[in-house]
Amino acid sequence: MPERNWEHEVQQNLQEFERRQASVLHNPSVARLYIERGVGVAVVVVFTCYGSTIRSISQDGRNLFLACSIFGAMIAIALASIGIYGLVSQHRQTPTPSQNENEPPAIGW
C-alpha cells in the first residue's frame, strides 16, 4: 500500500480553496464586488455624459466626454453582467439538502 503524502494533499486542497475563493463563479462577495464596481463606473458615466452637454466646453471636449461615456458604459455593463452571472450561477449550483423520509432529523451538534 503506497504511503500518502498528507502535507502535499493539504497544500493541494488549500490551493484549490484559494482558487475557488478568488472566482466570481464560487464566491458571492467577489460577484457583488463586480456589481458594485459596475455601478460605480455607471455613476461616472452619468457625469461624463452630462459633461458632454455643457456648452461652455469646446466641441472637441464635448466629443471627448461623449466618447469616454460610451467607453465607460461598455465597461460598466461588462462588470455588472459578470457579477450578475456569477450570482445566478452560484444560485443554480447550490445543492438543496434532501431529507430522506426514513431518516430521523439531524441533531445539529
| Structural domain includes residue 14 | no
Residue 105 to residues 23, 71, 94, 97, Cα–Cα distance (Å) = 34, 55, 21, 12
- For the stretch 11-70, pLDDT in tens is 888 988 888 888 888 889 999 999 999 999 999 999 999 988 889 989 999 999 999 999
| Structural domain includes residue 72 | yes
| Structural domain includes residue 13 | no
The C-alpha angle 12, 18, 21, rounded to 5 degrees, equals 140
Q: How many domains does the chain have?
A: 1
| Structural domain includes residue 9 | no
| Structural domain includes residue 40 | yes
Q: What is the pTM of this model?
A: 0.70
Q: What are phi and psi of 2, to 5 degrees?
A: -70, 150
Query: Which residue range is the domain that position 53 belongs to?
Result: 23-93
| Structural domain includes residue 81 | yes
| Structural domain includes residue 100 | no
| Structural domain includes residue 17 | no
